[in-house]
Structure 1
Amino acid sequence: MTFQTSIRAALFGLAALGLGSAASADQLADIKAAGKIVTATDMHYAPFDMLTNGTYEGMTKDLFDEVSKEIGVEPVYQDIPWTAELPGLEVGKFDIVIAPVTITPERLERYTFTLPIADATVALVRAAANDTLTRPEDIKGKTVGVQQGTAQFKQLEAFGQSLGDVTIKEYGTTDEAYADLAAGRLDAVAGSLPNLTYLVKNRPETFALFDEPKFGEPKYFAWVLRKEEATESFANAIRDAIIKMTEDGRVQAIQEKWLGTYTELPLEVPAE
């Protein structure tokens, strides 16, 4: 290869890189060109994400089906372990994490969040037969399960430290924690109030909420995108879809279907 040929090849390579950058400068345009949104979620987080006889369903799916319709593309749903979702998003393995992610100040610095999709305030559930646990403070001296790597874990950890003598056991999924609670290996499980409300609603013979179930600051769940200029158009399209769905009653209908109640959510991303 001659020197001039090498220069031409190098320039061609740079031009190709430039074209690649231009093509990915607008994520919404790329998504519409592909005709699909590639998502990631953990399908073991009822009532948001569930596999029922091998079929994906839940509140998240119902909401995101409608958002995808508003954008005009098809959703592609992938079952990814929670601990691999945000790292996978950062390296571009999918377009968005639709597992409900609690909005926190630390995460806001690193990711772009959509409008809230549900309440995420942390709460406690116990075995139905154990009526000695009524207030959050009653977990002092007890063993409490929680899903690892979640904001609920961090809130439980801080609350446990303030009480002293609280043993925290981490689980890969909430289903594993619920199974140990039912088997008597845990005294309680901490999680978001919607998740625990759904659990008790469907298995009242096994589980019960504390009389005062919530502790910590009010929090919200949302979906997560990469924090970069290219994602702004995609985030805006999701925002517009959620606002439209809130105004026409679809958000309320989906909440009531899965949670049995409706909670009005902020139409802006909370600062913390």
Structure 2
Amino acid sequence: MTFQTSLRAALFGLTALTLGSAAQADQLADIQAAGKIVTATDMHYAPFDMLVNGTYEGMTKDLFDEVSKEIGVEPVYQDIPWTAELPGLEVGKFDIVIAPVTITPERLERYTFTPPIADATVSLVRAAANDAIGTPEDIAGKRVGVQQGTAQFRQLQAYGETLGGVDVREYGTTDEAYADLAAGRLDAVAGSLPNLTYLVKNRPETFALFEPASFGEPTYFAWVLRKEEASESFAAAIRDAIQKMTEDGRVQAIQEKWLGSYTELPLDVAAE
């Protein structure tokens, strides 16, 4: 056997081994072998994700704790800025993004979504003492805060164009936007209906919902995985867990605990 023949045989064997390993890649199997799911979320997005005296809690945590039990592993929760979450997911820094991510057609093409975990319809909140505005149309020409990089930001921009323009102010977190609204530096804040309902419920002396609060098309929040063959088993396990939790009442109990009411959600995100 010549040197060239030996080299070709070695390279062929290495290529076959690499392709075989790729073909056998299975994220769920890897997670179960490791005994943990590494997650990313933004812990400044009440009522879904919050740091209370340094402890992580919220609706997302309650839901994902139960999902992790069904899969048989421990969740590892990481506080990551929202703008770094999807890029970090794509390069494999974590297994899943559990920050509530709004399902959009563009994101469905790029990522694998779990079944919805909550309503995400964009809505508006104002200072309780500000009676000069009250309906969505009143934000024309006003200063409206919104978290940067979100679907709510894009929906606010599009809605503002129909009104002749809105002064959109971007924030790294919703907490920062709420603080500026309370201080009078904003006229309104746009966000998902569950977030704003929770805010007003807990701080009625400071904030009030618009009437009607929502505008635009109904949307949903879900969690996000990489869109690859290796993630299919992991996505299926999460879907099965959420379906089981919906049927046995755990999803309803968690929604009612954090949102004050229960909304039946679809399992098929592709249709949304």
Band of TM-score, shorter chain: over 0.9
- Provide the rounded CA distance (Å) in 2 between the counterparts of 1:136 and 1:270: 29
Q: Match for residue 111 of structure 1?
A: 111
TM-score, with normalisation over the residues of structure 2?
0.94
Q: 1:87-132, CA deviations, whole angstroms, 9 ceiling, x for partnerless residues?
A: 1111111111000000000000001100000000000000010122
Unaligned runs of 5+ in 1: none
1:158-237 equivalences under 5 Å are 158-237=158-237
Q: Match for residue 17 of structure 1?
A: 18
Q: Deviation at 1:37?
A: 0.7
Q: Deviation at 1:6?
A: 6.0
Percent identity reads: 83
Q: Match for residue 244 of structure 1?
A: 244
Q: Match for residue 44 of structure 2?
A: 44
SS of residue in 2 equivalent to 1:184:
coil
Q: What CA RMSD, in Å, does the superposition of the two structures yield over aligned residues?
A: 1.6
The amino acid of 1:42's aligned partner reads D
Q: Match for residue 94 of structure 1?
A: 94
SS of residue in 2 equivalent to 1:164:
coil
Q: Kindly indicate whether the alpha-carbon contact (under 8 Å) linking 1:39 and 1:95 is maintained by their aligned counterparts in 2.
A: yes
SS of residue in 1 equivalent to 2:222:
strand
Q: 1:190-230, CA deviations, whole angstroms, 9 ceiling, x for partnerless residues?
A: 00000000101111111110121000000000000111111
Q: Kindly indicate whether the alpha-carbon contact (under 8 Å) linking 1:47 and 1:258 is maintained by their aligned counterparts in 2.
A: yes
- Provide the rounded CA distance (Å) in 1 between the counterparts of 2:207 and 2:251: 27
Q: Kindly indicate whether the alpha-carbon contact (under 8 Å) linking 2:42 and 2:81 is maintained by their aligned counterparts in 1.
A: yes
Q: Deviation at 1:53?
A: 1.0
Q: Deviation at 1:236?
A: 0.7
Q: Deviation at 1:26?
A: 1.3
- Provide the rounded CA distance (Å) in 1 between the counterparts of 2:10 and 2:270: 49
Q: Kindly indicate whether the alpha-carbon contact (under 8 Å) linking 2:171 and 2:177 is maintained by their aligned counterparts in 1.
A: yes
The amino acid of 1:21's aligned partner reads A
- Provide the rounded CA distance (Å) in 1 between the counterparts of 2:194 and 2:241: 22
Q: Kindly indicate whether the alpha-carbon contact (under 8 Å) linking 2:108 and 2:270 is maintained by their aligned counterparts in 1.
A: no
Q: Kindly indicate whether the alpha-carbon contact (under 8 Å) linking 1:123 and 1:191 is maintained by their aligned counterparts in 2.
A: yes
- Provide the rounded CA distance (Å) in 1 between the counterparts of 2:113 and 2:194: 20
Q: Deviation at 1:15?
A: 5.5
SS of residue in 1 equivalent to 2:78:
coil
Q: Deviation at 1:254?
A: 0.4
TM-score, with normalisation over the residues of structure 1?
0.94
SS of residue in 1 equivalent to 2:271:
coil
Unaligned runs of 5+ in 2: none
Between the two proteins, the alignment pairs up a number of residues equal to 270
SS of residue in 2 equivalent to 1:152:
helix
Q: Deviation at 1:20?
A: 4.0
Q: Match for residue 260 of structure 1?
A: 260
Q: Match for residue 85 of structure 1?
A: 85
Q: Deviation at 1:18?
A: 4.0
Q: Deviation at 1:12?
A: 6.3
SS of residue in 2 equivalent to 1:159:
helix
1:73 paired to 2:60: no
The amino acid of 1:110's aligned partner reads R
- Provide the rounded CA distance (Å) in 2 between the counterparts of 1:242 and 1:78: 22
- Provide the rounded CA distance (Å) in 2 between the counterparts of 1:123 and 1:215: 6
Q: Deviation at 1:65?
A: 0.3
